[in-house]
Amino acid sequence: MSAEPNPSGRTSVELFAGGGGLAMAVHRSGFRPLLLNEFVKYACDTLEANGAESRGEDERIPELNDSAPLYRGDIRDLKMGYLEGAVDLLAGGPPCQPFSLGGIAKGDEDKRNMFPEMFRAIREIKPKAFICENVRGLLRPSFKPYFDYIVRELMFPFEERDPDATWLQHDAILRDKEQRGHAKSAERYQVFTFPVNAADYGVPQIRNRVIIVGFRGDLDIDIELLKGATRPTHSKLALLETMASGEYWERHNRVKGRAKIPSHVVEHVMSDAQATLPFEEGASDLMPWRTLRDALVGDEFSDPLPDVPWSKLDRRQYENMPKEHIGWPDARIYAGHTPNVLDRPAKTVKAGVHGVPGGESVMLTDSPVRGTRKPREYRHRYMTVRETARVMTFPDDWELRGPRGEQMRQLGNAVPVVLGQVFANAVATVLDDVQKRS
């Protein structure tokens, strides 16, 4: 998020920026950040380490070559009216604990619910478009009525809620406005919801989320263009077929610097894959899901991560190992927390109170436990911070600040960069199309 050329001229604001996943995605899609906001100290430190610059109370719009200004503090204290008319895309994922399956589930009664601040930001900034990411738990039957209310609030952000009114009372007003309102109003937004699995977009992780995208009502957008730009690009069926054909295994065995996959691992994985393949649904003409093994091997932009020796699970950063690729001792597999396996997308990276919870960040390796016979048992260890960052599609040069638990928490709270970029690119495509036709 350092100052870079921005030929498109598009601009953005990122709220609840966390460790920078969505902010990075938006920036990569050609939007110049005019403001970032984050409250958590270590997350702010991470943003600054990667090019953002604290701005204090200054309400100045940055110049073209300035670094992204970061407001370190509570969003409820942040005034954004000075940005009115200057922002193409407002992005953010309001804290989702009130709606998490693992959370307290108090919905709008929870003081951590920051959706009202997202509504206020839209009112003050009046962006051309917005992206809002959150947990799939918002779509649970018990929360669906409130989720529908959130969508209507995003449609009519200028219809402010009376402080003394319940959300149900305010929702009734919005429902009436929806039925009789004019769709082309500059004070109304067209809102689209996308339940997504990040693995369907090339992220090496099963991560089910809901992404909400909105465009200001006075913009003549092409809805089919938006839908086309956000279609899934990867599938499980395509992965299983590349395994069955042998292409997946051959590709990995050609990687320099990584040990070849033992035949017993291939046999073990394929015994499950062959049983699944005849019943699997999906489109095999898409690209294969990316697996945890794919993430560790890297791509054209990153080198393979070296294996962590069993003798080096000692919390030390070794000079011959990538930064934050640090072995951690005492990994355990807990009841109800099955480990990650190399030849499937990783499990959802979660953010506990003190980082990713125990069993969730454990991975099985290719090394069998000594003295065991079939069915084979494989040794396990904690994933490193760098491996977890790969699963979240953060680049290796992205610096994470704070102790290990805080780094893992930033990753667990983040939007995978590749997933965020799909939707930021889609918004850019739609806005470019509007400009061409205007």
Residue 152: predicted pLDDT? 96
Find out whether 415 and 353 touch, Cβ atoms under 8 Å: no
Same domain, 246 and 101: no
Residue 184: predicted pLDDT? 74
Residues of the chain above pLDDT 70, percent: 89
Q: How many domains does the chain contain in total?
A: 2
Q: Does residue 319 sit within a domain?
A: yes
On the question of pLDDT at 340 being above 90, the answer is yes
Q: What single-letter amino acid sits at 362?
A: V
Q: Does residue 286 sit within a domain?
A: yes
Residue 131: predicted pLDDT? 98
Find out whether 218 and 186 touch, Cβ atoms under 8 Å: yes
On the question of pLDDT at 176 being above 70, the answer is yes
Region 368-372: mean pLDDT is 79
Q: Does residue 59 sit within a domain?
A: yes
Same domain, 219 and 297: no
- DSSP annotation of 66 reads S
Q: Which residue has the tokens 């089910």?
A: 208
Same domain, 76 and 223: yes
Q: Does residue 40 sit within a domain?
A: yes
Region 259-284: mean pLDDT is 77
Same domain, 240 and 210: no
Those residues whose C-beta lies under 8 Å from the C-beta of residue 243, and which sit 6 or more positions away, are: 249, 269, 270, 273, 343
pLDDT digits (tens, 9 = 90+) for 34-54: 999 999 999 999 999 999 999
Residue 7: predicted pLDDT? 61
Using 50, 70 and 90 to split pLDDT, how confident is the model at 373?
low
Same domain, 359 and 425: no
Beta strands in 5-140 (DSSP E): 10-15, 31-38, 53-54, 69-72, 89-92, 129-135
Same domain, 71 and 84: yes
Q: Does residue 3 sit within a domain?
A: no
Residue 169: predicted pLDDT? 92
Same domain, 61 and 208: yes
Same domain, 207 and 285: no
Neighbours of 310 (CB within 10 A): 11
CATH of the domain at 204: 3.40.50.150
Q: Of 416, 408, 368, 372, which is closest to residue 388 (Cα–Cα)?
A: 408
Domain assignment of residue 174, given as a range: 10-232+415-437
Q: Does residue 5 sit within a domain?
A: no
Same domain, 169 and 301: no
44 in catalytic set: no
On the question of pLDDT at 341 being above 50, the answer is yes
Q: How far apart are CA 120 and CA 76, in angstroms?
A: 9
Same domain, 406 and 421: no
On the question of pLDDT at 289 being above 90, the answer is yes
Residue 5: predicted pLDDT? 52
Q: DSSP string spanning 203-256?
A: -SB--EEEEEEEEETTS---HHHHHHHTS--EEHHHHHHHHHHTHHHHHHHT-T
Q: Does residue 4 sit within a domain?
A: no
Q: What single-letter amino acid sits at 257?
A: G
CATH of the domain at 268: 3.90.120
Which residue is catalytic, options 68, 96, 150, 269?
96
pLDDT digits (tens, 9 = 90+) for 100-158: 545 544 555 567 788 899 999 999 999 999 999 998 888 888 888 888 999 999 999 99
Neighbours of 180 (CB within 10 A): 6
Q: Of 218, 152, 158, which is closest to residue 185 (Cα–Cα)?
A: 218
Greater confidence, 75 or 96? 75
- DSSP annotation of 179 reads H
Residue 97: predicted pLDDT? 56
Question: Which of 160-174, 251-265, 386-400 tops mean pLDDT?
Answer: 386-400
Query: b/e per residue, 47-79, with b = 16+ CB within 10 A?
Result: bbebbbbebeeeeeebeeebbbbbbbeebeebe
CA angle 247, 339, 19 (to 5 degrees): 90
Q: Which residue has the tokens 């709270």?
A: 413
Residue 104: predicted pLDDT? 45
Upstream peptide bond of 375 is cis (omega within 30 degrees of 0): yes
Region 69-88: mean pLDDT is 95
Q: How far apart are CA 190 and CA 183, in angstroms?
A: 8
Q: Does residue 277 sit within a domain?
A: yes
Same domain, 212 and 265: no
Question: Which of 180-189, 306-315, 346-355 tops mean pLDDT?
Answer: 306-315
Going from the C-alpha of 173 to that of each of 119, 153, 429, the distances in angstroms are 16, 10, 34
Same domain, 306 and 404: yes
- DSSP annotation of 196 reads E
pLDDT digits (tens, 9 = 90+) for 205-246: 999 999 999 999 999 999 999 999 999 999 999 999 999 999
Q: With H, G, I as helix, E, B as strand and everything else as coil, classify residue 429.
A: helix
On the question of pLDDT at 257 being above 80, the answer is no
